[in-house]
Chain A
Amino acid sequence: MTNKPVSNLAQRLEKGLFTVTAEVTLPDSIEKEALVARAKMLEPYCDAINITDSTGAVPHFSNIAAASILIENDIEPIIQFSCRDRNRIAVQADVIGAHAMGVRNIFCVTGDGVQTGDHPEAKPVFDLDSVTLLTTINHLKTKGKFLSGRELDAKPDLYLGAAVNPFVPPFEQRALRLLKKQKAGASFFQSQYCFDIERFETFLDRLMELTKGSPPPLLVGVGPLRSARFARWLRENVPGVAVPDSIIEKIEKYPRKEQQKAGVEACIEIVETIKTLTGVAGIHVMAYNWESSVSEIIEATGLSKTARNI
């Protein structure tokens, strides 16, 4: 049996090619068009698009439906699964259903607590955690069986990913946690927003040391800050996003009208630094509700598909 990469993302990362992924903001629309329009803005610049799973504990367009709409449009999705809304029965059912729709890349996260979102009175599930979510899906993948032992007609072709957040405590444990997730079945990693390069480098050094210089593929999360006010909102309202004062002050120096441009420039600067780091497989761009900024960031950093594939 040959080990052919199961997706474009897997192929790129396995070959060690610099890879760009991006997150699409799922619209609150009851039709396909709004999603397709946003994804098409990102598609020329990235190798695969992340579909979140009601991120921030706010209900959005279904991740499986969104992923299959992207596939219809020849765009490769990375579908995110969180532990907040599905128990192990729903997870396994949805994974094989998504596979049948053509989904290959699955990204496993814990998920934000329901208190974060606009339905704080909801019942949080958390039957699994991000690691057991990985072991559960990896069990389907490697054994072709449900956790109960009941057999599927074949093993699903999946490429599993997991999240890493080097920017929040316990800092010393974050690299070990990444490796635990790798052991549980994750083949690639995407990080939370990186605004603190120094902190990231400390993490990366530790990861390089633990893996003797060959870490698993890691895409570093980046994104533009629209304004100093937005940066503060992000820091205070989105769990796990650490925005240092220094970057807010940098943007705040400009008048309101010019802050958007300053935010993009700050992001470009971070990407330029990340590009030079050994042990980084690429970037993951999260431009919340601002897909149009991605082209600018990618072009300015020389990371367009054509530039990367020369």
Chain B
Amino acid sequence: MNKVRALESTYLFCSKILSGIIPALGTKRPFIWFMVTSEKAFKKPLFGCQMCGQCILHSTGMVCPMGCPKTLRNGPCGGVRSDGNCEIKPDMKCVWVRAWDNSTQMAVFTESIQDIQPQLDRSLSGTSAWINELGKKNDE
């Protein structure tokens, strides 16, 4: 199994487990602390996570869009270099070129890269994306 598929499976696994736990514990302070700490601990080294609190990794080929110097969440800008590198950081592969390549390798979320992502809610910065996502579903 390749890396993208492995990450996708991990995402699906976490989603399944946490959707059972978060509705019950999502408002408890020790649990919130645990989630924030573990998200920082895992997602930072793996994806360069910036704790935006609104994780959309599964829609972006498991490449964090906040790593884009313009923090674009809906696709590449028009400034991508002909070698596929970033307009702003010439030595870095464009986040969205990677996201596009990876999304084609995914099993479940290949099409999700075409979803329109809403305006980022800056007030959620530093909070747990899992609680924000699964807690929100619970409210609806």
A contact residues vs B (CB 8 Å cutoff): 83, 88, 109-113, 115-116, 124, 126-132, 135-136, 147, 163-165, 168-170, 172-173, 176-177, 179-180, 183-184, 192, 239-240, 242
- Specify which chain B residues have a CB less than 8 angstroms from the CB of A240 in the assembled complex: 77-80, 87
Q: Is the CB of A170 within 8 A of B74?
A: no
For the complex of A and B, list the 7 residue pairs with the smallest distance between their C-beta atoms, beginning with the closest: A239-B79, A165-B78, A131-B74, A110-B77, A113-B88, A239-B87, A240-B78
| Cβ proximity bits B66-95 to A, threshold 8 Å, 1 near / 0 not | 000111111111111111100110000010
Q: Is the CB of B76 within 8 A of A130?
A: no
- Specify which chain A residues have a CB less than 8 angstroms from the CB of B117 in the assembled complex: 131-132
Partner of A129 from the list B73, B82, B84, B88 (CB cut-off 8 Å) is B73
Q: Which of B19-27, B47-55, B96-104 is the interface stretch?
A: B96-104
Partner of B87 from the list A113, A128, A129, A132 (CB cut-off 8 Å) is A113
Complex: how many Å from CA A164 to CA B78?
A: 7
- Specify which chain B residues have a CB less than 8 angstroms from the CB of A172 in the assembled complex: 100
> Within 8 Å of chain A (Cβ to Cβ): is B15?
no
**Known pairs A83-B70, A169-B76, A173-B96 / 14 extra A-B pairs, C-beta < 8 Å:** A113-B69, A116-B87, A126-B71, A129-B72, A129-B73, A130-B72, A131-B75, A135-B118, A135-B119, A147-B119, A169-B94, A180-B75, A180-B114, A240-B77
> Within 8 Å of chain A (Cβ to Cβ): is B17?
no
A299 to chain B, nearest CB (A): 30
> Within 8 Å of chain A (Cβ to Cβ): is B1?
no
Q: Is the CB of B70 within 8 A of A132?
A: no
- Specify which chain B residues have a CB less than 8 angstroms from the CB of A124 in the assembled complex: 69-70
Q: How many residues of B contact A (CB 8 A)?
A: 31
Partner of B82 from the list A110, A111, A112, A242 (CB cut-off 8 Å) is A242
Complex: how many Å from CA A118 to CA B122?
A: 29
A49 to chain B, nearest CB (A): 20
Q: Is the CB of A239 within 8 A of B82?
A: no
- With A88-B119, A129-B72, A129-B73 as known contacts, state yes or no: A169 contacts B97, CB within 8 Å: yes
Q: Is the CB of A115 within 8 A of B88?
A: yes
Complex: how many Å from CA A255 to CA B30?
A: 75
Complex: how many Å from CA A184 to CA B82?
A: 27
Q: Is the CB of A163 within 8 A of B116?
A: no
Q: Is the CB of A128 within 8 A of B100?
A: no
Complex: how many Å from CA A147 to CA B120?
A: 12
- With A113-B88, A135-B119 as known contacts, state yes or no: A129 contacts B114, CB within 8 Å: no
Complex: how many Å from CA A165 to CA B100?
A: 16
- Specify which chain A residues have a CB less than 8 angstroms from the CB of B72 in the assembled complex: 110, 126, 129-130
- Specify which chain B residues have a CB less than 8 angstroms from the CB of A113 in the assembled complex: 69-70, 79, 87-88
Query: 13 A–B contact pairs at CB < 8 A?
Result: A83-B70, A111-B70, A115-B88, A116-B79, A116-B88, A129-B73, A135-B119, A147-B119, A168-B82, A173-B96, A177-B76, A179-B114, A242-B82
Complex: how many Å from CA A165 to CA B79?
A: 8
Complex: how many Å from CA A192 to CA B79?
A: 10
Q: Is the CB of B80 within 8 A of A168?
A: yes
- With A113-B69, A240-B87 as known contacts, state yes or no: A168 contacts B81, CB within 8 Å: yes
Complex: how many Å from CA A309 to CA B81?
A: 39
Partner of A177 from the list B69, B75, B101 (CB cut-off 8 Å) is B75
- Specify which chain B residues have a CB less than 8 angstroms from the CB of A180 in the assembled complex: 74-75, 114, 116
Q: Which of B123-138 contact A (CB under 8 A)?
A: none
- With A88-B119, A115-B88 as known contacts, state yes or no: A129 contacts B74, CB within 8 Å: yes
- Specify which chain A residues have a CB less than 8 angstroms from the CB of B70 in the assembled complex: 83, 110-111, 113, 124, 126, 129
CB closest chain-A residue, reference B122:
A127
A185 to chain B, nearest CB (A): 10
CB closest chain-B residue, reference A164:
B78
Complex: how many Å from CA A70 to CA B74?
A: 33
